[in-house]
Structure 1
Amino acid sequence: MKNKNSKLVIIMLAIFETLFLINIISNIIAKDWKELGLAVLGIVNMLIPLLIKKNFRKREINLPLTFEIISIIYIFLALYLGEINKFYIKFWWWDLLLHGIFGSYAVIIALYLKEGIITSNREVTKKRYRIFILIFAFTFSITAGVLWEVFEFLGDYFFKTSMVKGGIEDTMTDMLVKIVFAFITSVIYYFRNKK
């Protein structure tokens, strides 16, 4: 199964990267720099799942066999079809579909990470446990932040409050600040408890 997946990943990468490359060439000819940037971003992002899988394999932490395939397809759907080919505009449900897919698959990845970091068939080292706690705390913080943003949105939507005054810019600024501070706090925790 692993070998079949590896071949499929290579074939998908070749096809998707070629489509992005064709898009890059046509954007250079058309001098469409915004679309060019998206295509370059697509090519780079397609390689990230492979690097993640390799890095985790070195640490003996398993990810789902489908991790690379699903990740590459997701990036293609979001950047190539969604942004470059305007599926976000053409199909009102496109963004919802991708967020739904991501939400479901993120749970599967989290369960594999938990199993890889704290597994029942081998002794849990202090380092692995600290890493698990670090990931849990970081993601818990971000999830709590997301739920707060949902609360603000629902308040505005149902009760006509004005908690989300700046729209998407307000929401994203709030989220980015939460992510940065959650990351800093998590790193501090990790190094304080390293001893």
Structure 2
Amino acid sequence: MNIYNKTVTILLVIFEAILIFTGFTALLQKDYEVFKLSLLAIFSILIPFILSLLAKKKKLNLPLSFQLFGIIFIFTAQYFGEIKNFYDYIWWWDLMLHGAFGSYMVITFLHLIKGIIRREIDITRKRYVMATSLFAFSFAVTLGTLWEIFEFSGDFMFNTGMVKGGLEDTMSDLIVKTTAALVTSSIYYFRKRNE
């Protein structure tokens, strides 16, 4: 196991221990909202590892930092944002997380696209870069939208209160994510089109 894998594993164990302790404490205190949020986070934080395994089986390239980014994102969103109420106390917390998500999903897709699209001789460099930029943008926006659906579904099914401010919260999250994805994919396009 290399140093990166050890770091990710240690971080995962620390995050899971914090979430389990928080959930157990909440259950003892009969704080069922925090208990439900803790359970959701305990299982959600494993998603980057599941996605990495699926990608490996399909021989798709993910960024080396995919698992690390994933667990940090989920922990900061669920633990700090929801359980510790950073969304209420720090006005930009939610926007920062959604902006980081939008940018990182472009980076993730650019790694994935290498294994999906083969560059044929008749495809020009500019057309190839344009196609990958558009796909990366679409990928980021799609996953960002799925995250908003996840938040809404959690509120609807488990009454968790993840969506703060209703439509305004959801739309501002989508706008920030989409803008970050657009900027990141545009930077990629203008940097790579003439290489």
TM-score normalized by structure 2? 0.63
Q: Look up the match of 1:77.
A: 76
* Pair 1:111-2:147 in alignment: no
Q: How does 1:155-174 map to 2 (within 5 A)?
A: 168=167
Identity %: 44
1:80-111 Cα shifts (integer Å, max 9, x gaps):
00000011111111011101111110110111
Shift of 1:53: 0.3
SS of 2:45's equivalent in the other structure is helix
Greater RCO, 1 or 2 (C-alpha within 8 Å, sep 6+): 2
Q: How does 1:88-107 map to 2 (within 5 A)?
A: 88-107=87-106
Q: Look up the match of 2:65.
A: 66
Q: How does 1:1-195 map to 2 (within 5 A)?
A: 3-120=2-119, 136=135, 139=138, 168=167
SS of 1:63's equivalent in the other structure is coil
C-alpha distance in 2 between matches for 1:102 and 1:91: 18
SS of 1:62's equivalent in the other structure is coil
Shift of 1:39: 0.4
**Where do 5+ consecutive residues of structure 2 fail to align?**
121-130, 146-165, 175-195
C-alpha distance in 1 between matches for 2:118 and 2:53: 20
1:29-86 Cα shifts (integer Å, max 9, x gaps):
0111111111001010111100100110111101000000001000011000000001
C-alpha distance in 2 between matches for 1:116 and 1:8: 27
- In structure 2, give the amino acid aligned to 1:100: G
- In structure 1, give the amino acid aligned to 2:52: K
Moved >2 Å (runs of 4+): none
Shift of 1:120: 4.3
Shift of 1:9: 1.2
C-alpha distance in 2 between matches for 1:70 and 1:37: 23
Q: Which moved more, 1:69-78 or 1:108-117?
A: 108-117
Number of matched pairs: 139
CA RMSD between the two structures: 3.2
**Higher Cα Rg: structure 1 or 2?**
1
1:3-39 Cα shifts (integer Å, max 9, x gaps):
2221111101110000000111111101111111110
**Where do 5+ consecutive residues of structure 1 fail to align?**
122-131, 147-166, 176-195
- In structure 2, give the amino acid aligned to 1:54: L
